[in-house]
Structure 1
């Protein structure tokens, strides 16, 4: 049977001739959970990038009459008074009612009121990325005086959907920036330690052991509590990112050091050294690619750790502070009895954290398996 007669032989031949990155992509596409995680992670970063456009309202705009407003269901079919129907986005209106004995405010459906919505409608003005003045939102009320709450409102009457969308930018970016900084520290210090050895190796490894011997959570709490309360939100955001990075680089540094110790005496490294290659070229051109699978997996699996760390610190009141909006800051505002009993929708940021962490873990597992040639051979 010829290759042209059997498609399986054609596929095998194409894979045999493909580049390393092409093989990684082919193996990654076969991992369904990893592909799903990649789509979710990409969606979250796109939500963070276009938060102003996707959020229906200003996340800091409050309404005294809408305190703890419950979520409203988005409806597409609208029925008129004559019994006919048409396709039109809207939500059913709700009105506040106060109990005359307990003075508790509850919201009940207002059957005579409908809030109609428009796609790409005009709403609160904003500057996209702080540069482009715009008024269009993905979803906005036709009457700009009206408000709707798809995920409810908080204790100040602020739209939770808008706040979660804006919190996505901070929580997801702090993980990306923090991992980038820890990756650079781990690769540089671990590479120098493993390549040169001797005194450099001893100093770097003693520093690594010192950091690893410290309990992580008390260390984060102590460093975060030491930050001046007078710092602006951008300064505090940068400081928290640096603190998380200073703790997270040690594991990667030890792995890189072990790999470099094993590779520096290999024939291809010795040949490159005798051929006059510089230290930088030998490290980044010859040694780093051989451990690319572990580097990729370390990056994708370290981002959820950063996200959880920031969320935990902000939840305890030692991380980011209002008016900065992150998932941890939003969860901190929900830590009271009234939220548990009457406003469970305030815990929606916790679902966003779980979704992001699970998706990043699936993505990291898939990238690790796809980039590991031994894992590919075993399948």
Structure 2
């Protein structure tokens, strides 16, 4: 018997699976019945599962967000640990073999010389100094989520040794550890910002689309004004008015609110256009006759009808907020030390001469690019899965 296509495949595949085999036709009918009786969520999952790039992006993002929960454990060094003997040390290569013999994961020790003409530190591997890496080991002390005091790390350098897999910065701080710590801020600011944007977009767009009239006219003019302003100068202006006396935590929430306040317009227009079409449906009239108020009709009957589209839209909007925070921090108007984000790490590479001599300071760009691409691919997959009958 010819094998059947997977669940969620286009219906014509079932028809052409085995046109002359009665057993195949019977099995295909059972599959069609299962498809027609499946819930909307199951149909979306079948459709999303076929988008392999979106599934891979979802796995990558899940790994990133799980990482921020245990970043202290994953980072080899503490966030502010300085190694003054290894300022601007280039990345070290992890090796398994030494002179043809298997040793296990290790790095070579380093010697530093100072070029008296250029005053540049030059590092060279000492092949006689084999420093084996330790796993689930004791290293720099830290407080896990500022609650539990411990010093357990996933990987540590050898006793008395050094391990800088992505190099160090101008203060001798490990770039890899700072990237891992910075992920907690850069990834969460997008989620918090989209929550603000989601709330404003649904409430304002929902009221404008459901009631219409003067309120809808005013909302549309406000949206047009906000969308006509250039984003980056507006971000810079709003970020610049925050007092320098504010604590880093307050600055974090201030930047988040700014990003959310400027990103709700596109979502509000999408909600408004949907509600303009759905408010004429018979079930809306039935809810009105039963005495339901506007908030209940919008929240319980209209919004759930296209929630999948809103989720896809929100997923695509998160990268814009991450880029916004990165840009503001890179320009010195966003988050401020001691808070660390990927944008703050990139401020180390604002000079062309620094990039020319120490290109590894651009490594924080790599997770930014990966996360932005993953969110965009995930949004494409969710957008396709939101309409499984297409």
User: What does residue 326 of structure 1 align with?
Assistant: 341
**C-alpha displacement at 1:41, in angstroms?**
1.0
Q: Return the match for 2:134 from 98, 103, 118.
A: 118
What aligned pairs does 1:204-283 form with structure 2 within 5 A after superposition? 204-283=219-298
For 1:105 and 1:369, how far apart are their aligned partners in 2?
Answer: 53
Where does residue 37 of structure 1 map in the other structure? Answer: 57
2:102 corresponding residue in structure 1: 85
1:27 to 29, 41, 47: 47
CA distance in 2, matches of 1:7, 1:154: 64
1:162 aligns with 2:182: no
TM-score in terms of structure 2 length: 0.90
- Measure how far apart 1:204 and its partner are: 2.2
In structure 1, distance between residues paired with 2:353 and 2:86? 16
Structure 2 counterpart of 1:135: 151
**What is the match of residue 96 of structure 2?**
76
Q: Distance in 2 between matches of 1:150 and 1:208?
A: 47
User: Structure 1 length as normaliser, TM-score?
Assistant: 0.93
Match of 1:14 among 30, 34, 49: 34
Q: Which moved more, 1:297-306 or 1:338-347?
A: 338-347
Q: Distance in 1 between matches of 2:335 and 2:154?
A: 28
Tell me, in whole angstroms, the C-alpha distance in 2 between the residues paired with 1:317 and 1:152: 23
The count of corresponding residues between Structure 1 and Structure 2 is 370
Residues 194 and 318, structure 2, Cα contact 8 Å, conserved in 1: yes
Q: Distance in 1 between matches of 2:214 and 2:43?
A: 40
Distance 1:146 1:221 in 2: 43
Q: Secondary structure at the match of 1:124?
A: strand
The Cα RMSD (Å) is 1.8
Gaps of 5+ in 2: 1-20
Q: Is the 8 A contact 1:78 1:90 kept in 2?
A: no
Distance 1:123 1:11 in 2: 57
CA contact (8 A) 1:54 1:165 kept: yes
CA distance change for structure 1 residues 246 and 6 in 2, over 3 Å: closer, same or farther?
same
Choose the corresponding residue for 1:94, options 89, 103, 110: 110
**What does residue 53 of structure 1 align with?**
73
Q: For 1:35 and 1:89, how far apart are their aligned partners in 2?
A: 32
| 1:290 corresponds to | 305
Please, which runs of 5 or more residues in structure 1 have no aligned partner?
A: none
User: Secondary structure of the equivalent of 1:133?
Assistant: strand
- State the alpha-carbon separation in 2 of the partners of residues 75 and 13 from structure 1: 56
Partner in structure 1 of residue 370 of structure 2: 355
Distance 2:93 2:333 in 1: 35
